[in-house]
Amino acid sequence: MAVTLVNPDGLPKPDVYRQLSIATGSRLVFLAGQVARDAEGRKVGEGDFAAQVEQCYLNVGTALTEIGGSFDDVAKLTIYVVDWSADKMPLLGEGVARAAEKLGVDPVKPITLLGVSALGESDLLVEVEATAVLD
């Protein structure tokens, strides 16, 4: 595996993400932000935050599979959430868990979560951007 995830001593050890990833692969992959659209561009989970998170993660997995990788190769995620508040955390976790089950992966990665006022289209509630490392 090209990516090893670590919660080092001296830093908090959260359950839902890791503080850092160590990449040893030779190909860096920078994936554009993925949104709640299926392969045909149709809206998925309109108004449903958990469903949109799930679709974003599935899209990350699909993109990486197409180039010979998988979600396991993700070194870092950046998640943009419209009007973020702590009460959305359970729904974020629900969407991530559903995607992880479908992908058959451990979704725990280093994550930066940013609250934003809007995304590129008015129906989008979340966007997930990924950096991956492949051997």
Per residue in 73-97, pLDDT (tens digit) is 999 999 999 999 999 999 999 999 9
Residues 6+ apart with CB under 8 A from 31: 60, 63, 64, 129, 130, 131, 132
**pLDDT above 80: residue 46:** yes
Mean of the per-residue pLDDT values of the chain: 96
| pLDDT value, residue 118 | 98
Lowest mean pLDDT among 21-25, 65-69, 97-101: 21-25
Share of the chain above pLDDT 70, in %: 99
pLDDT band of residue 2 (cuts 50, 70, 90) is confident
Structural domain span for residue 61 = 3-134
What average pLDDT does the segment 10-31 reach? 92
| Residue 113: CATH number of its domain | 3.30.1330.40
pLDDT band of residue 71 (cuts 50, 70, 90) is very high
pLDDT band of residue 48 (cuts 50, 70, 90) is very high
Encoded tokens for 80: 């943009």
What average pLDDT does the segment 111-120 reach? 97
Domain tally for the chain? 1
